[in-house]
Chains A and B, each alone.
Chain A
Amino acid sequence: ILNVEQSPQSLHVQEGDSTNFTCSFPSSNFYALHWYRWETAKSPEALFVMTLNGDEKKKGRISATLNTKEGYSYLYIKGSQPEDSATYLCARGGGTSYGKLTFGQGTILTVHP
């Protein structure tokens, strides 16, 4: 994998469903994996930053896992609510340039009442 890739590109779920997205990234020269939540007309909001293989983080109904050896991260949302509707971006930090985050194209989540 040369770039940061997210799947699916979009997702429609019903209120109360649990869902998950995938972020795949180059595993060489890895330093950190970020997840952001971006609602329309607002600022991207940091959800998690993970650095260690096997990391798991949780914030309310949202959790994330990290596998740096195989280069992927999962984001889980339990019991989706309409207010969870947003674009979820992952970004990989690392390589030779400090401060450079490479973003995936995002997963657009729509939660229907």
Chain B
Amino acid sequence: DTEVTQTPKHLVMGMTNKKSLKCEQHMGHRAMYWYKQKAKKPPELMFVYSYEKLSINESVPSRFSPECPNSSLLNLHLHALQPEDSALYLCASSYTGQGGGYTFGSGTRLTVV
């Protein structure tokens, strides 16, 4: 299996809702990432997990809460989001160390209404 699977592909949520984005990989990668991409902008790093521990939080608001329950799964819990949080959320994984490319999922298109 050489894929990163993200679910759901599309999500519409209200500002008072709680939802979760899921990401799964079975390549033995021990680093996993959440990126956010707004239209016509480059992907921006949100969080990095290394060996199931949070290693980077790019000053992301607390309404986004990441979780890495095991080496294959990465979740992003969403609560009280704002319309400006609408974006494409990409998950990626890689071997640790910066010498290798990342494997990306196809993303979750999130709309906050």
Q: Contact between B104 and A43 (Cβ–Cβ < 8 Å)?
A: yes
Distance A52 CA – B59 CA, assembled complex (angstroms) = 31
Query: Does A103 reach chain B (CB closer than 8 Å)?
Result: yes
How many residues from B make CB contacts under 8 Å with A? 28
Distance A94 CA – B43 CA, assembled complex (angstroms) = 16
Distance A49 CA – B15 CA, assembled complex (angstroms) = 39
Q: Name the one of B42, B43, B105, B106 contacting A41, with C-beta atoms under 8 angstroms.
A: B106
Q: Name the one of A47, A97, A99, A106 contacting B42, with C-beta atoms under 8 angstroms.
A: A106
Q: Contact between B55 and A105 (Cβ–Cβ < 8 Å)?
A: no
| Distance of B34 from chain A, by nearest CB (Å) | 12
Q: Contact between B45 and A44 (Cβ–Cβ < 8 Å)?
A: no
Q: Contact between B4 and A99 (Cβ–Cβ < 8 Å)?
A: no
Q: Contact between A105 and B31 (Cβ–Cβ < 8 Å)?
A: no
Distance A105 CA – B41 CA, assembled complex (angstroms) = 6
| Distance of B100 from chain A, by nearest CB (Å) | 6
Seen from chain A, the residues whose Cβ lies within 8 Å of a Cβ on chain B are 4, 31-32, 34, 36, 41-49, 51, 89, 93-94, 97-106
Seen from chain B, the residues whose Cβ lies within 8 Å of a Cβ on chain A are 3-4, 31, 33, 40-45, 48, 50, 55-56, 58, 90, 94, 96, 98-107
Q: List 19 A-B contacts (CB under 8 A).
A: A32-B98, A32-B99, A34-B101, A43-B103, A43-B106, A43-B107, A47-B101, A48-B101, A49-B99, A49-B101, A51-B98, A94-B98, A97-B48, A98-B55, A99-B55, A100-B48, A105-B40, A105-B41, A105-B42
